[in-house]
Each structure stands twice: as structure tokens, then as C-alpha cells.
Chain A
Amino acid sequence: MNMRTGALIVPTAAALLLAGCATDRVIFVTKTSIGLDIDRTPGTVSIAYDRIDGFFGPRYDNGAVPPVVASINTDLAVFAPQIRQVYATGNAATLVVTPSPQLPQPLLLRGNRKSMFFGTSTTVGLKIGFDVTGLPESLTLGYKRKEMSVIPVGTTKVKDAAGNDVEIDTYPSVLASIDVRIKAASPADTSFGLNQFFATGNAAESLAANSAAIRRSFITLAQKALEPAAAVVVAPELQARRKKMADHVRALRTSGDKNTLGAIADALNLPKQADIPSETAAILDEIEQRSRDAASMDQLSTLLKPITRQDF
């Protein structure tokens, strides 16, 4: 498929919109280009950034539109640039921006079938030069990524408040993310890290709800600081499970296990803290907020089990 997305899709979508035609499909496209050129002799840093986001789809009478989200986070730090992108549609888009999401029931593959398209294209070029002392002297980075989906909306029946069957449109979930981490400290201490996810349907929703790597772009310290959580009374059995998990975390604090605490903080999408007490406090705060019912406690226990190696 020709992916000249920015040149073709946006004008096409705008033309269709101006024509006022109805649509039963959603087109969502992003295109990103980043160029970074660093040279210590003479000392220069050149940065180029170009980004296009486009959405074409139905708007309903009540103001609703199919949910999509796309983000890019990059620091373009000299000799250690990071680039993180997330692209999601449908329930996955809503889940990935929700602080404590509840995963919906998986959808069965049933009903009429229609074709949809979802694709990404990524190109990364990197060149690093070192001087005779082993210090990085130059870095040239070229990064280009396109993400696109063309998805027809579906229909399903649900019960309204009065118990009547009503027909509503559905918009499937897709999710793509990429996390590029480059480090150029010395010839021996140079790395190129890359994490990439590509998923559709229930798998996309599960990733959006549970993957720390994907969700971290949307959960910020500022959000948490602005929204103190409301306390709720929980059942005694659930409280016992919460306390067991909290005690486990406090034991890590007592033993000074910063690595394990850091791994738990990463899994919970928490920002890095300067010291162990602050990291422990942030984790306890998050655990309390994420364990308000048995289902969310199960989810939290499962999420942390690879690190804690026990059930709570």
C-alpha cells in the first residue's frame, strides 16, 4: 500500500468532509519525521521535526465520535535521545488514557465481516562517531514512522436504561507503540534499544490496560497530584489482600531492595523517585487506588506477580 499518508489522506478527508458525505469507516493516520544531527567540533546541534495527525470518520448526532489517541514523547537528549510513540483506536484508545482502567469483556468474533486495514512503517538510521579519547563526538539520527488504520464501524445491540434493545455502532481496537532508546557514552557503552507492539482486538485492549511500557506516556505525576483519590470502604477479605501486598512492599523498603521497588514502580507506570521511602510511598498509594474491588485486586496481583513471585 502506498503510504504517502500525509499528502493523500488529509486532503482527501477534508474534501469528503466538505462534501458532507456520510461515512461508515474511520481513517486515522499519523506521520512523524525526526532528524537529529549533533557535532562537538564545532559544537552544533540541529533538530528537525515534522508531524501530521489526521482523523476522518463519522460524527454522531449526540456529539460522539469514535475514540482515537496518538502521542509522541521525545527528549532528543544529546547523545542519549529517546522517542516513544503510541497509537490506539476504539476501547484501546480509551483504556490507555484511563488511570485505573477496567478491561472490558472480550468480544467474540461473530456477525457480518468487513475488511479493515491497520499498518505501521518505521525507519531508523543512526551513526555515532567517537574521538580518540573515546568520548562521543557526533551523532546523526534519522527517524521516520507512519501509522494508519482504515476501519469500518460495526453495529451491535445493547439494552438501554429502560431495557429495550437499541442498535449502536462499534469501533474496533487497534494499538501500535514504539519506544526507541539510544545511548552513546563511549564505544563500549553504546546501546540501541527498541520495543515495539502491534496488536488488534482484545489483545490491543489488554495491552492498553496492562502494559506499563505503553501506558506510561499518559499517566503523569501532574495528573496524580491534581486528583487526590477518594477513600472507599472495602470488604474485609479484600482489605486482607491489600494489606498483604502493602506489607510485602514495605518489607522491600526495610531490606533496601531498590531494584525490586523500581521494577514494581515501572509496572505501575509510576515516575522515578529519588529515594526508597518516596518510591515505596508512591507504590503504596498506587496499590491502594488500584485495589478497590476483587477484580481490580486480581488484576493488580497478576500484573505484579512476575516481580513479587507470589499471589495476593
Chain B
Amino acid sequence: MATPKTRTVDKSSTLATLNQLVAQQEQILGPLIAISNDGNQTVLTFDAALDPPVKNAVLAAAAGASGGAPGGTHVARGEIFIAGILTDTIATRAS
């Protein structure tokens, strides 16, 4: 059974900061399972019932409508704030 734990991130955070946060939070709270926003800030959700992943999830702006995830396993997709701009984003994890 999943035990989701959420963390909010300031909307002005850059993509680099967001990825650094994901890497650190996954080591404590477990793997990232969802990305979204609450209108004012980014919301990251982790599954604390699972062990930390060997390789961290990486966020990237979705490329075009297809939002592909080349070279990794798709983890989550959602709209999050990147440097203040609501951006369609995908999270992938390298195999």
C-alpha cells in the first residue's frame, strides 16, 4: 500500500533546484510518484512505503505534445512551476 508524502516547492525554483530537491527527497522519503501544482507552488509526491530508488528521477520540460521520455522509465507527468512558469513536465528514471 502506498503511503504518499508531499512536499511543496517555491514557484520560482529553477529546474536545476527542482532536480536537486527530488534527488535529496527520494533518499529520505522514497521514490517520486507524482508531480503537480496547487496554483501557487509545485507539489512533489513521494511513496514513503518504498525504499529509495538506485537512480533518482529527473524532471524535464515535456518535449512537444507527446512528452516523450527517452532513455528512461516514465515516472510521472504534470504541470509544475519552473522559474515561475507553469510548465508541462515529465519525470523519468534512468534504467
Residues of A within 8 A of B (CB): 228-234, 239, 242-243, 246, 250, 277-278, 280-281, 284-285, 287-288
Contacts and interface: CB of A to CB of B under 8 A. Distances in A.
Closest 6 CB pairs of A and B: A281-B48, A281-B3, A231-B7, A228-B6, A288-B28, A277-B49
Nearest to A229: B7
Contacts of B55: none
B69 to A, nearest CB: 23
B27 A242 contact: yes
Interface residues of B, number: 24
A285 B9 contact: no
Nearest to B48: A281
Given A230-B10, A231-B25, 16 more contacts: A228-B7, A229-B7, A231-B7, A231-B8, A233-B17, A233-B24, A234-B24, A242-B24, A242-B27, A243-B52, A250-B51, A277-B3, A278-B3, A278-B49, A280-B49, A288-B25
Main secondary structure, interface of A, reads helix
Contacts, number: 62
Nearest to B22: A231
A281 B20 contact: no
Interface of B: 1, 3, 5-10, 17, 20-21, 24-25, 27-30, 41, 43-44, 48-49, 51-52
Contacts of A242: 24, 27-28
17 contacts: A228-B6, A229-B7, A231-B7, A231-B21, A231-B24, A232-B21, A233-B17, A233-B24, A239-B27, A277-B3, A277-B49, A280-B49, A281-B30, A285-B5, A287-B28, A288-B5, A288-B28
A229 B20 CA distance: 17
Contacts of B7: 228-231
Contact of A288 (B1, B9, B29): B29
A253 to B, nearest CB: 9
B14 to A, nearest CB: 11
A6 B32 CA distance: 55
Contacts of B24: 231, 233-234, 239, 242
Contacts of A233: 17, 20-21, 24
Contact of B9 (A230, A246, A278, A280): A230
